Amino acid sequence: MTVRNTAPLSRGTAAANRVRRWLSVPIPGLAMGLAIGLALAVLAPIAPARASPWHNINVAGSVPPLAFHLTDAATGKMVTAAAFRGKLVLLYLGYTHCPDVCPLTLHNIAVILHDLGKRAAEVRVLFVSVDPDRDTLPVLRDYVALFGPDFVGLRPDANALARLARRYRLAYSVQPKTATHPYEVTHSAAVFVFDRNGDARLLVPSLAQAHPDLSGTAADLERLLAAPQIGWLSRLRQLF
């Protein structure tokens, strides 16, 4: 007695078998070409689903790569973006006398880095002063040290600051004190995220809101950290 396996075939296996049986029938000329094309379409692997959306704003391909010449507050030496290649970089403009937005933003970044655990060592937070007249190197160095070892204070001169702000379309202004007006500084609250290659990937609109999405931002950083450092061809592919 012959026992027949009655387990149902998977949809893909059944479809493939039907196409193979169909192709076994002689079909001349153009019809054969159409049959082969259909067979390849059925048998081809299904394309993977597109990646899930980011929690923050995807700016890949629309914002210039990380580039600057600024003074590192810890060493007093000029530093460029090349010194941070291989690290995930968060770029934020602020000032040490800021009463609320800056310390809250940096504190929340520190919370996010804590959530990353050991991978936080692969991240650098660049805090660029928009008030270099008051933010001397020692002041800036001591200020960023309050938030953790992965925070780097960078002090620009007026021209370097203007170039950086223009490059990333970040607004700032400094109004010196007068007889009728106090010393006043304003600046953008946005944080830019650059990948290990120095390419702009995300814009975090603000981490100084009443209820910022810290877990979502941490998930975005983890996703970028999990991606390998890639060459130029793969960098083109990631834009599509």
Return the closest-CA partner of residue 112 out of 220, 200, 4.
220
pTM of the model as a whole: 0.75
Which residue did the predictor score with more confidence, 161 or 42? Answer: 161
pLDDT tens digits, residue range 174-212?
999 999 999 999 999 999 999 999 999 999 999 998 899
Please tell me the predicted confidence (pLDDT) of residue 229.
75
Q: CB of 106 within 8 A of CB of 124?
A: no
Which CATH code fits 57-227? 3.40.30.10
Which residue did the predictor score with more confidence, 35 or 62? Answer: 62
Return the closest-CA partner of residue 69 out of 134, 147, 160.
160
Q: CB of 134 within 8 A of CB of 160?
A: no
Residue 145, token pair as written in the block: 């040290």
- Per-residue pLDDT, averaged over 23-39, amounts to 42
Buried-exposed string 79-93: b where 16+ CB fall within 10 A, e elsewhere: bebeebeebbbbbbb
The residue to which tokens 């990937």 are assigned: 201
Residue ranges of the chain that CATH labels 3.40.30.10: 57-227
pLDDT tens digits, residue range 41-80?
434 444 444 566 999 999 999 999 999 999 999 999 999 9
pLDDT tens digits, residue range 130-147?
999 999 999 999 999 999
Return the closest-CA partner of residue 215 out of 125, 108, 124, 127.
108
